[in-house]
Structure 1
Amino acid sequence: MATLDAHLAQRSFMLGEQFSMADIPLGCEAHRWFGLPQSREKRPHVERWFASLAARPASKGVLDMDLA
């Protein structure tokens, strides 16, 4: 996640300033990572990026689901 955080420090989304297909699979992985019950270092750029994905209308019912 440190590498992803550093990458997102330079851009809003994976490939630049616009949402793309590259954000979807990584967003799913981030959803799982954030859902794990463990302590972790702050990753402010990943947190910002994931929040922007979760705010997209198409993510409702997907990125807001609890992982069982």
Structure 2
Amino acid sequence: MPLEGDPPALRLLPLLPSGWTVEQRSAASLWLKHVVVQFGWPAKRVTGSMSTRRMRHRRPCWGSWRRMPRRRM
């Protein structure tokens, strides 16, 4: 964080399991924000990318993406 002035916005982009419910994703988002604020980042400068609308669409998590078959060139 900068020594003077406002810190930049911190945008959290967690990779969560695709099988998690909206409630689980929301709880994880709130917990992550809480931890970041607890370690000194101003709460007003923490943003997230997980709105309820976006959480309803399941996207593969990193682990499942890695297991996808590779295309041969």
Please classify the TM superposition score into its range, dividing by the shorter chain length: under 0.3
- TM-score normalized by the length of structure 1: 0.26
Q: Higher Cα Rg: structure 1 or 2?
A: 2
Q: Does 1 or 2 have the higher relative contact order (CA < 8 Å, sep 6+)?
A: 2
Structure with greater proportional helix content:
1
- TM-score normalized by the length of structure 2: 0.24
Structure with greater proportional strand content:
2
